[in-house]
Amino acid sequence: MSPTPVGQCGVVLTGAPGRVRESFEILAQRKIQKLIVSGVYKDSQLREIFPYLPFYPEVSESDIILEKKSETTYGNAIQSLVLVESLKCKTVVLMTSQVHMRRAYRIFRSTFPNDIEIQKLSLPNSKTEKNLIDIWIEVFKTLFYFALGLVV
């Protein structure tokens, strides 16, 4: 098993149970200094998204940013870039599922400037992301992004 990447900022893409919890573990271990939770429902509050926060005394709420504008992976990249730049992060750990990582990384890499390093951390797939239908949906989305020119 490879070591957990280290970065100034972490960006976790919402969408499956468990991703946010795993990203909080990375923040608690101090592998990242700030955590951007990208793609959060606009009316959500931190304690709704992660009710276990009181059990993480080493995590400060000021180190967590809820990005509430994006609705797609491309939107995640655009909105996260604004936050990463405002936080002056030069190294970012991108966290999403194994199934989603290839497309997400390519979109983030084509959106972020080259002077921002992006490291990948594939989180374990939830039970809902392991079936063949989900893999085909990801293939379809990837082709769609290629057709739009959002991924190279």
pLDDT of residue 124: 73
Kindly report the backbone phi and psi dihedral angles of residue 20, in degrees, each rounded to the nearest multiple of 5, phi listed first.
Answer: -65, -45
In terms of residue numbers, what domain contains 143?
9-148
CB of 82 within 8 A of CB of 112?
no
Instruction: Let me know if residue 3 belongs to a domain.
Output: no
For residue 66, pLDDT beyond 80: yes
Residue 82 lies in a domain: yes
Average pLDDT, the chain: 86
Q: How far is CA 112 from the centre of its chain?
A: 14
Residue 133's pLDDT is what? 62
pLDDT-derived band at 35, boundaries 50, 70, 90: very high
CATH number at residue 16: 3.40.50.620
In a domain, 108, yes or no: yes
18 belongs to a structural domain: yes
Handedness of CA 138, 139, 142, 144 (dihedral sign): negative
Q: Residue 37: is its pLDDT beyond 90?
A: yes
Distance of CA 94 to the CA centre of its chain: 5
For the entire predicted model, the pTM comes to 0.83
For residue 61, is it within any domain? yes
Q: Between 96 and 144, name the one with better pLDDT.
A: 96
Choose between 129 and 21: higher pLDDT.
21
The pLDDT value recorded for residue 98 is 84
73 CB-contact burial (10 Å; exposed 0-12 / middle 13-18 / buried 19+): buried
Amino acid of residue 107: I
Q: How many domains does the chain have?
A: 1
